[in-house]
Structure 1
């Protein structure tokens, strides 16, 4: 026998989503998905979304800012990866631009330097060409811009 998921009243769903958004910044897409999983009807989803935005539980710019800050400082992602991930979450271009302004050029370059040096230290059993290939693919995968990556590789390995 197939078990039905719990059904929520509008009030229960509002409370649950309020806690969900208060715990951590969320993007609109995540919240809509969660509401669909809760089997809420489209009208209820729209009502709950409007309530969450109006009462500042849900704020696209705040989400973009904390996402960009966190992924840059903790995961050491470059701007291209951050942009790609924010676009996947349907964050507006304006919010993405504003969130990236928090990262200073100096801090950006310092993180790239540290990341490249740490990665290079792990590549001890490689030829010079292999080191260049592995280092570049590692940095590009993490979303660092081509010209910065290739400049850094030239600086470290030539």
Structure 2
């Protein structure tokens, strides 16, 4: 019963256009989707070129919206965002050039807010243990160690 429906080239092309219109995609996601349709290499290439030419597929736009979304919606730090983008096959140079999507003040404020929120929830531990757990948590969210230490010092000064 595991029969796959077969589509014409134009149907597949339209499905991939819809896939890209729904949300910005990176090349790797689109290529992965094409695997599902068992396309020959020439057809894949033609569709990829069409998607790029018509601006349905734009790696820089994808990278910028990914960075904004993960930071402003999920409060991820630069390291976690960078690693996830690398995993999606986005070139390092492009990732670095798009990080200006995150405002420096917003980055610092978000980190400080996460620090205070998490730090205040930890009960019954020595100060150094609380700090250690908080650092580990924030590094897990992708924030840089130096930035975390800066926020900690700012909070201690009060």
Is the pair's TM-score, using the shorter chain for normalization, greater than 0.5? yes
Question: In the alignment, which residue of structure 2 is the partner of 1:105?
Answer: 104
Alignment check: 8 A CA contact 1:136 1:153 kept: no
How is 1:124-143 mapped onto 2 (pairs within 5 angstroms)? 124-143=123-142
In 1, the alpha carbon distance for the partners of 2:37 and 2:133 equals 44
Alignment check: 8 A CA contact 1:6 1:38 kept: no
- CA deviation after TM superposition for structure 1 residue 94, in Å: 2.9
Alignment check: 8 A CA contact 1:53 1:59 kept: yes
How is 1:30-45 mapped onto 2 (pairs within 5 angstroms)? 30-45=29-44
Work out the number of aligned pairs and report it: 157
Question: In the alignment, which residue of structure 2 is the partner of 1:122?
Answer: 121
In 1, the alpha carbon distance for the partners of 2:121 and 2:156 equals 14
Matched, 1:24 2:49: no
Matched, 1:151 2:150: yes
Question: In the alignment, which residue of structure 2 is the partner of 1:73?
Answer: 72
In 1, the alpha carbon distance for the partners of 2:139 and 2:126 equals 20
Q: After TM superposition, which residue ranges in structure 1, 4 or more long, deviate above 4 angstroms?
A: none
Gaps of 5+ in 1: none
State the SS of the aligned residue for 1:86: helix
Q: State the TM-score, normalizing by the size of structure 2.
A: 0.92
